[in-house]
Every structure is written in C-alpha cells, then in structure tokens.
Structure 1
Amino acid sequence: MSRSRQFIPAIFALLALLFAAVPAVRAQGAERPLKIALIDVQRLVTDSAVGKEALGRLKNLQDAKVAEGKAKQDEIEALRRKLNDGRLSLAADKIADLEKELEDKMISFRRFQDDAEREIGKARENALGEVERRVMPIIEQVGEEFGYALIFNKFQSGLVYADEAIDITPLILQRFDAAKGN
C-alpha cells in the first residue's frame, strides 16, 4: 500500500473522531470552543527522566546481547579457521566432526539472534508500556485542567499539519518529571 493510501483511512478516522466529538463538546457548553492539543510521545520517551531510564535499560540489554553475539561469532570464525587449516592434515572423520560442530554452532547462533531480537522487542514493549502507564494520568489531568476536548499523539494520529502552538509536550514533560516517583 502506498504511503498516500495509508493516510486516507487515517484522515477519515480523524475526521470521524472530530465530528463525533463536536456534538459532545457543544452539549457541555454551547459557547465553549473546541480545544485540541498535541503531544510528541517520542519526545516524552527520549527527554523525560522515566523515559531515559527505560532507554538506558534497553541499551544495556542490547549491548549485552551484542557482546554475547560477538563472542558466538568469534567462536564460529575460530572453528571455521581450524577446519580450513586442518583440511589437508586431519582425518576425514575429524573433518566431519568439525563440520558438524560448525553447523551446530551456526544454528545455535541463528537461534540466539532470534531469541535476542524477541527479548529486546519484548523489553522495549514493556519499557514503553511502563512510560505510557505512568504518563497517561498526567495527560488526562492536563486535558481536564485546561479543558481540552482532544489530545492527539503528534506523529501517530494521521495528522498532516498542526500549529506548534497547540503542542503541550513541554508542559506534560515538566509535570511527568516532577511526578517521577509515581
């Protein structure tokens, strides 16, 4: 699906959401204007203390997996060299044993890579879920306090353009860091 075709359903969903929200807001107060805000969730993750801690834990896990993978690759390369160096001097059964060992190590390495990817992905999901769980009450509080009818995630809402004046990320970030102990 082309990128422009992906935006069409998102735009229709956004419009439907806006049209559904307008009557509800008007019912609350006929003169009350529809207030909309944006937050940059990515910035909340990268700039908040909680997000930085989560990203640090992810980086440590990723670094550990990279080091473990490098050690496994080094073992494979050493075994490959041993096999190539011994092709002329080793007996056929010893060569077959080394080839089998090399194949087993390569299979083990592929499994390790798959498992590491899965583990890092799950850790990323958990870390981002924790950040979201902790920031949502703050977003809801700011929404109620300032009378916002809608608060959109800036880059995942299908939004094509918005004035930076409605971006409340700095306010959310300030309150999120102040409430870090929660």
Structure 2
Amino acid sequence: MSNCRRLVSLLTLALPLAVAQATDVGYVDMQQVIEKSKVGAKVQEQLRKDFEPKAKPIGAEEQSIREAQKSLAKESALMSKEQVEKRQAEIKKRIAAFEAAAAPFQQELMKAQKERGREVLEPAQKAVEAIAKQKKLGMIVERSQAGVVYLDKSLDITDEVIKQMDANTK
C-alpha cells in the first residue's frame, strides 16, 4: 500500500474520533424527570385520580380470577375430570370477559398518558435545550434508549433538567 493510501486510511479512521471528541455529550433520564419534577408529579397525580376508580373493579376481578385458578389447582386432584373441565371452562370464560372489559380501559389510560405526557415532555425538552446550550453539549441522549451500553454519570443532566423545569413551574 502506498504512503498516500495509508494516510487516507489513517485519516478516515481518525476523523470520527476527532469529531466525537470535539462534541460533548450528555444524557437525561426522562423517567426520573417525569417522576421527580413538579409538573410530572402533578400529571401523575391527576392520572391516578382519573383512572384509579375505574381500575379498582378491574383489579378486583383479576384477583378473583387468580384465586379461582389457585383454588382449582388445589382442588383438582379431588375432582372428577368433568368437574375440572367445567371449572376450567368457567375460568376461561371469566378471563375472556375480563380481557374484553380491561382492553378499552387500557386504551383509554394509554391515550391519556400520551396526551398528558406532553405536559411534561414539552417543558423538559426546553430545559434540555437550555442546559445543552449552557454546557455547550452537542448531543443529549435519553438514558434508557436501546443501544446505549455505558454512560458516565458525570454526563447526567437529569437533576439539572428537573431543577430548571421546577423553577419554571408555578
């Protein structure tokens, strides 16, 4: 290989390293922002107030089905095959009814979480951008995103994002 080709190869390998070193990176844990910021806590509390009354009967039915399954598992040795099959069919029927009742609730909850989540994400995005500019960070990644294998704790700006959001929350 000629010297020119070697130089080009070395520059090709070194250039990404030089660019990566020139740009500082930080990260933020958005789950903590949602849980620990004032606006996030307010949104979570409102969702809890809105959906807890609807969730209680669904949770009670789920628990009742589990108890029926445990009871059948304990008692099946003393029952006839027909009795076991009848109880299994009853439980399957209850599970199907439970799933049919729970599905719309889950969809409604997810829709509300998504809509109300914007109330947290928009100010969080502004706070992240402000901190990135202040610290001269070229990139901020979300801590829990797939593909991130290691993050140095010194790059974490989560607490600063929460402080800035809380400072701007009434």
Do both share a fold (TM > 0.5)?
yes
Shift in CA distance, 115/138, structure 1 to aligned 2, threshold 3 Å: same
Superposed CA RMSD: 2.9
SS of the equivalent of 1:149 reads strand
1:95-110 equivalences under 5 Å are 110=99
Partner of 2:4: none
Partner of 1:33: 22
Q: Distance in 1 between matches of 2:155 and 2:42?
A: 28
Q: 1:156 aligns with which of 145, 156, 161?
A: 145
Shift in CA distance, 120/54, structure 1 to aligned 2, threshold 3 Å: same
Q: Distance in 2 between matches of 1:106 and 1:43?
A: 35
Using structure 1 for the length normalisation, give the TM-score: 0.58
CA deviation after TM superposition for structure 1 residue 69, in Å: 3.7
Q: Distance in 1 between matches of 2:24 and 2:118?
A: 27
Contact 1:61 1:120 in 2 (8 A): no
1:66-145 equivalences under 5 Å are 66-69=55-58, 110-145=99-134
Percent identity, aligned pairs only, is: 22
Q: Greater shift after overlay, 131-140 or 40-49?
A: 131-140
Q: Which runs of 5+ in 2 are unaligned?
A: 1-15, 62-92
Q: 2:51 aligns with which of 59, 62, 79?
A: 62
Deviations 1:85-123 (A, max 9, x none): xxxxxxxxxxxxxxxxxx9x9987654322111111111
**For this pair of structures, how many residues does the alignment match?**
124
Using structure 2 for the length normalisation, give the TM-score: 0.62
SS of the equivalent of 1:38 reads strand
CA deviation after TM superposition for structure 1 residue 162, in Å: 1.2
Deviations 1:27-72 (A, max 9, x none): xxxxx9321101111100010011111111222233111235478x
Partner of 2:163: 174
Partner of 2:33: 44
Q: Distance in 1 between matches of 2:146 and 2:30?
A: 11
SS of the equivalent of 1:175 reads helix
Q: Which runs of 5+ in 1 are unaligned?
A: 1-18, 24-31, 74-102
Deviations 1:147-177 (A, max 9, x none): 1001010111521011101101111111111
What letter matches 2:47 in structure 1?
Answer: L
Shift in CA distance, 163/128, structure 1 to aligned 2, threshold 3 Å: same
CA deviation after TM superposition for structure 1 residue 128, in Å: 1.8
Q: Distance in 2 between matches of 1:111 and 1:161?
A: 42
